[in-house]
Structure 1
Amino acid sequence: MTPTLGPEAATLHRAVSEVLHYVWDPIGVAGTPEARDEYEGYVDGVCGLLWHGADANAVTAHLVAIADDAMGVRGTQEQAARAAEILLAWRDVVTR
Structure 2
Amino acid sequence: MGKKLPPEQLELYKRIDEILFYKWDPIGISDGDWARDEYQSYLPRVFAYALESDSAEPIAKYLGVVSTQSMGLSAAPEHDLKIAQMSIEVKVGLGL
With structure 1 as the length reference, what TM-score do the two structures score? 0.90
1:47 partnered with 2:47: yes
Aligned to 1:65: 65
Partners of 2:64 and 2:29 lie apart in 1 by: 17
Query: Identity across aligned pairs (percent)?
Result: 27
CA contact (8 A) 1:68 1:74 kept: yes
Partner of 1:84: 84
Shift in Å, 1:76:
2.2
Q: Which structure 1 residue ranges, 5 or more long, are not aligned?
A: none
Q: List runs of 5+ in structure 2 lacking aligned partners.
A: none
Deviation at 1:2, TM superposition (A): 3.8
Q: Which residue of 2 aligns with 1:10?
A: 10
Which AA in structure 2 matches 1:21? F
User: Which runs of 4 or more aligned residues in structure 1 lie more than 4 Å from their structure 2 counterparts after TM superposition?
Assistant: none
The count of aligned residue pairs is 96
The C-alpha deviation readout for 1:13-52, integer Å capped at 9, x for no partner, is 0011000001111111112211111000111100100111
C-alpha separation in 1, matches of 2:37 and 2:56: 24
Alpha-carbon distance in 2 for matches of 1:29, 1:17: 14
Q: Give, as a single letter, the amino acid of the residue that structure 2 aligns with 1:92.
A: V
